[in-house]
Amino acid sequence: MQTLMVYSESGGVTKTTTAVSIAAIAASQGRRTVLIDLDPRAASTKWLDVVPAEEGLHVGAILGDENPEGWAEDLAIQSSWFPELRIVPSARNVSNREADRADHAELRLRTSLEGLNADLVVIDCPNRQGGPLTLSALNAADTILYASSASGDGVDGVAGARRTVEQFRASRHRIGAPANLTEAGIVCGGVRETIMSRAATASIDDLRDTGMLLVPLVPDRAIVQEVRLVGEWYGKYRKGAPVLNAYTEIVRQVIR
């Protein structure tokens, strides 16, 4: 099972679009996929239009349980989009877990994945600079995909995320523990193809200079925001095809 976290330390840089797209496309190709919404904004949860099976049975229950083995399997909700796509939902009060300083709390998400019936787990991370939620994702994941937009915020979000990852690796090294994390690359989404500002061009150049920018760039299409409001998958619509095609190629590159 591959566990991929989609990460940036800036908001509004296509992180949720990337996480949902990777999960949905993988599921459409027949992979048993679980999307974990770790963001208290619950953007992925709202987009897939799911609710917990019962009050409080969301990702926060995993993070608050001292022994959450098997919880991901129990809490995953079937999506209406694809038979192979499930989601562990989030809620606003998941932010309360940021105050949890219990020993080994950052390992609970990883523990919850034991026994999960899945080929792929995609974690939609919050745009936090470290902290318990981010540490939970870092401990659970084996692959990191950075999300960015063609903007200064997008570049800064990736730079901050990469610093956090490096600090995590260093801390694991100091205690003699492995940090089996592969940086799969940077996805740049929401790119306007016809009229690109100098700032956008410079931002893409900065991302390219890291040597990690994945191609194709993901084009901007209004349909993506439109379907998010009504809980639908943009891949159902002709206008969404350019975005779908770009993310499909990215899936080919980053999913084992």
pLDDT at 100: 65
pLDDT digits 0-9 by tens, 69-125: 999 999 999 999 999 999 999 988 887 777 666 657 889 999 999 999 999 999 999
The helix (H) or strand (E) run that includes residue 5 is strand 2-7
Distance separating alpha carbons of residues 124 and 15, to the nearest angstrom: 7
Tokens of 209: 């200079």
Q: What is the DSSP string of 118-157?
A: -SEEEEE----SSHHHHHHHHHH-SEEEEEEESSHHHHHH
For the domain that residue 81 is a member of, what is the CATH number? Answer: 3.40.50.300
In the chain, the number of structural domains is 1
- Of these ranges, 48-62, 76-90, 189-203, the one predicted with the greatest mean pLDDT is 76-90
Please return the burial class of 222, using the count of CB atoms within 10 Å of its CB with bins 0-12, 13-18 and 19+: exposed
Across the range 216-228, mean pLDDT stands at 96
Please determine, for residue 197, whether its predicted confidence score (pLDDT) is greater than 80. Answer: yes
Domain limits at 95?
2-254
Q: Which residue has the higher pLDDT, 43 or 179?
A: 43
Please return the burial class of 45, using the count of CB atoms within 10 Å of its CB with bins 0-12, 13-18 and 19+: buried
pLDDT at 102: 64
pLDDT at 55: 83
If you average pLDDT over every residue of the chain, what do you get? 92
Distance separating alpha carbons of residues 243 and 17, to the nearest angstrom: 10
Opening angle at CA 135, ends 134 and 138, nearest 5? 90
Place of tokens 């730079």: 159
**What's the number of CA atoms in the CB half-sphere (13 Å) around residue 57?**
14
Provide the pLDDT confidence category of residue 177 given band limits of 50, 70 and 90: confident
